[in-house]
Amino acid sequence: MLKILNFINGNHCEAVNKNFIENSNPSTGLVYSTLPDSDEQDVERAIESAQNAYNSWSNISAESRFKILNRIAELIDEKNEELALAESIDQGMPLWFARTQVTLSAQNFRFFATAAMQYSSTNHSMEGNYVNYNQKSPIGIVACISSWNLPLYIITWKIAPALATGNCVIAKPSEFAPATAFMLSEICYQAGLPNGVLNIINGRGEKAGNIIVSHPKIKAISFTGKLSTGKVISTLAAPLFKKLSLELGGKNPVLIFADCNLEKAVKETVRASFLNQGELCRSGSRILVEEKIYNNFKKAFLTELKYQSLGNPLLNDTKIGAIVSKQHYDKILSYIEIAKAEGGKILFGGEPVFPKGLENGWFISPTVIENLKNESICNREEIFGPVVTLTSFKTEVDALEIANSTDYGLASSVWTENIQTAHRIATNIKTGLVWINCWMYVDTKSPFGGMKNSGNGNSGAWNIMDFFTEQKNVYIKY
Ligand code: NAD
């Protein structure tokens, strides 16, 4: 049994209360690890250790920070296979995909290591012999709370910029996929990160997470998770005037126009729908197809699905792995039932799958549903699983109206060979990310984040460096 521990002041430890939570391997349905069920006592210890470390960490040179963060990146790269295997077993994603996410996690540290060296203040001359400059200082102790869907990638996407800007961090991985954050703590220790600079608290969201968010000494929270949790966190944080970076859910439209390269559009839309079991905030879940090619697209899309092998995440040819938890598996299946009740026609899948040897695991067939109204629950609420809906549209105006009709606004992809259509859609669609004739690409140099209820768009590049700092303007008369 793998025993995941908290990481406080450079030491691995159980929860003070000795309570723990069981965590299962989604491919087998069997408990294979335990993690601390942390409470106030653990959070207090983490805060104390962060406080003790802060003065020194916030004052060391940017180059010293760079060296440690860059070393963490190197160690993540060196342990790629080990981390990927742990991620795949813990989360259910195919191993080959986990390897790509570990590589990106190393890149997160490398990018923000170098960003620490480049981050600078501005100054402005003013009329009347005045000059002003701004100082960017770390905030102090910040929280990084992450989801289970890309466990290592998302937590490093937060921790790296928080550390690069000189903050001390209390991180909380998801209780459903805590393994690689535990391994990261060991890597940080090996890389020479001083004790107390990064503390990792495991536990339940509504308990440990809540305590972290409410703690008066934590002044900024970077959160990735559900819209409903984002609302709870906003409510707790607002009276304490904490800074919030929220990366929330999506109900992402894919717009397929009749003039697109159909073969590419079909292949990439299958990927956009089912990569990581459809458990990506960027997954396309509402496929809108121009009426003229609806039947052709549908036929090609359903044919392509036959090549999406589902099963053991550790096998090289597996495209679709297991669903992270029983709770989430039940939730996805319940949405499929809702879709049926709403008059949806299941074109493909729509049911659990029991791969040979993994009959107790949580697998769901890729599922394609048509005939649902735009107002239906399954076209509005985030399912976050291998379930997509197909809808036809007549004109570009209709397509935009449908695309913009949910409360979410995270990402969209558009397939057309007409550059004018592409630009018009990119301008008028209400999503923080737009991919034209592609999907999934994210550049760490660029801002990242959703519009509307998908978050407040504070992530990526300098945005997140600014988020993790406080700025002060100094005016001088000379
Ligand atoms: P979740 O909201 O259930 O949990 C996220 C994290 O918050 C976990 O660590 C959890 O323990 C913690 N948490 C839960 N309740 C809390 C509380 N009251 N106070 C403090 N912390 C609390 O989300 P999830 O199921 O882990 O993740 C899936 C969601 O994340 C989806 O909606 C997905 O779209 C979203 N997501 C968004 C992005 C993005 O960039 N916008 C990226 C990945 C995932």
**How many CB atoms neighbour CB 89 within 10 A?**
23
Going residue by residue through the chain, which has 478 residues, state the pLDDT in tens, using 9 for 90 and above: 999 999 999 999 999 999 999 999 999 999 999 999 999 999 999 999 999 999 999 999 999 999 999 999 999 999 999 999 999 999 999 999 999 999 999 999 999 999 999 998 889 999 999 999 999 999 999 999 999 999 999 999 999 999 999 999 999 999 999 999 999 999 999 999 999 999 999 999 999 999 999 999 999 999 999 999 999 999 999 999 999 999 999 999 999 999 999 999 999 999 999 999 999 999 999 999 999 999 999 999 999 999 999 999 999 999 999 999 999 999 999 999 999 999 999 999 999 999 999 999 999 999 999 999 999 999 999 999 999 999 999 999 999 999 999 999 999 999 999 999 999 999 999 999 999 999 998 899 998 999 999 999 778 889 999 999 999 999 999 9
What pLDDT is stored for residue 424 in this prediction? 98
At a CB cut-off of 8 Å and minimum separation 6, what does 378 contact? 335, 338, 339, 342, 344, 369, 372, 387, 389
Q: Is 455 left (phi over 0), alpha (psi -120 to 50) or beta?
A: left
**Secondary-structure class of domain 2-248+454-477 per CATH:** alpha beta
pLDDT at 256 (0 to 100): 98
CB of 178 within 6 A of ligand 1: the answer is: no
Q: Which residues contact 342 (CB under 8 A, 6 or more apart)?
A: 372, 373, 376, 377, 378
Per-residue model confidence (pLDDT) at position 461: 86
Helices (H), 124-214: 151-164, 179-190, 210-214
Ligand 1 pocket check for 37: Cβ under 6 Å: no
If you take atom 14 of ligand 1, which residue's CA is the nearest one? Answer: 205
The CB of 224 under 6 Å from ligand 1? The reply is yes
Residue 31: how many CB atoms within 10 A of its CB?
12
Q: List the chain domain ranges.
A: 2-248+454-477, 252-443
**Ligand 1 contact via 231 beta carbon (within 6 Å):** no
What's the CA gap between 2 and 314, in Å, rounded?
A: 18
Q: Does the Cβ of 151 fall within 6 Å of ligand 1?
A: no
How high is the pLDDT of residue 114? 97
Structure tokens at 404: 């913009």
Q: Ligand 1 in contact with 278 (CB < 6 A)? A: no
Residue whose CB lies within 8 A of the most ligand 1 atoms, among 90, 108, 226, 444, for a mutation test: 226
Q: Which residues contact 25 (CB under 8 A, 6 or more apart)?
A: 32, 89, 90, 361
Closest approach atom of ligand 1 to CA 212: 20
Query: Ligand 1, from 229, 282, 382: best to mutate by most atoms within 8 Å of Cβ?
Result: 229
Q: Whose CA is nearest to atom 34 of ligand 1?
A: 249
Q: Which of 224, 380, 444, 452 to mutate to test the pocket of ligand 1 (most atoms within 8 A of CB)?
A: 224
- For residues 291 and 441, give the distance between their C-alpha atoms in angstroms, rounded to a whole number: 28
Q: What is the pTM of this model?
A: 0.97
Q: Which atom of ligand 1 is nearest to the CA of 228?
A: 2
- Top CATH class of 252-443 equals alpha beta
CA of 158 to the centre of ligand 1 (A): 13
Q: Three-state SS for 287?
A: strand
Minimum-distance ligand 1 atom for the alpha carbon of 227: 32
Q: Beta 363-364 vs 469-477: how paired, if at all?
A: unpaired
Cα–Cα distance for residue pair 179/4, rounded to 1 Å:
7
Cβ 386 vs Cβ 348: under 8 Å:
no
Q: List the structure tokens of 113.
A: 């290591």
Which residue numbers are catalytic? 247, 281
Report pLDDT for 458: 78
Q: How far is the CA of 185 from the centre of ligand 1 (A)?
A: 21
Q: What is the pLDDT of residue 250?
A: 98
| Dist CA 4 CA 7 (whole Å) | 10
The sign of the dihedral angle between the CA atoms of 329, 334, 339, 345 is positive
Please give the structure tokens belonging to residue 324.
């992270």
149 lines ligand 1 (CB under 6 A): yes
Q: Is 317 left (phi over 0), alpha (psi -120 to 50) or beta?
A: alpha
Q: Please give the distance, rounded to the nearest whole angstrom, from the Cα atom of residue 224 to the centre of ligand 1.
A: 5
CB atoms within 10 A of CB 11: 15
The atom of ligand 1 lying closest to the CA of 229 is 2
* Cβ–ligand 1 contact at 350 (below 6 Å): no
Residue (of 221, 228, 264) closest to 245 by Cα position: 221
- Any atom of ligand 1 within 6 Å of the Cβ of 249: yes
Nearest residue to 169 via CA among 240, 69, 302, 28:
69
Ligand 1 centroid from CA 149, angstroms: 9
Amino acid type, 89: I
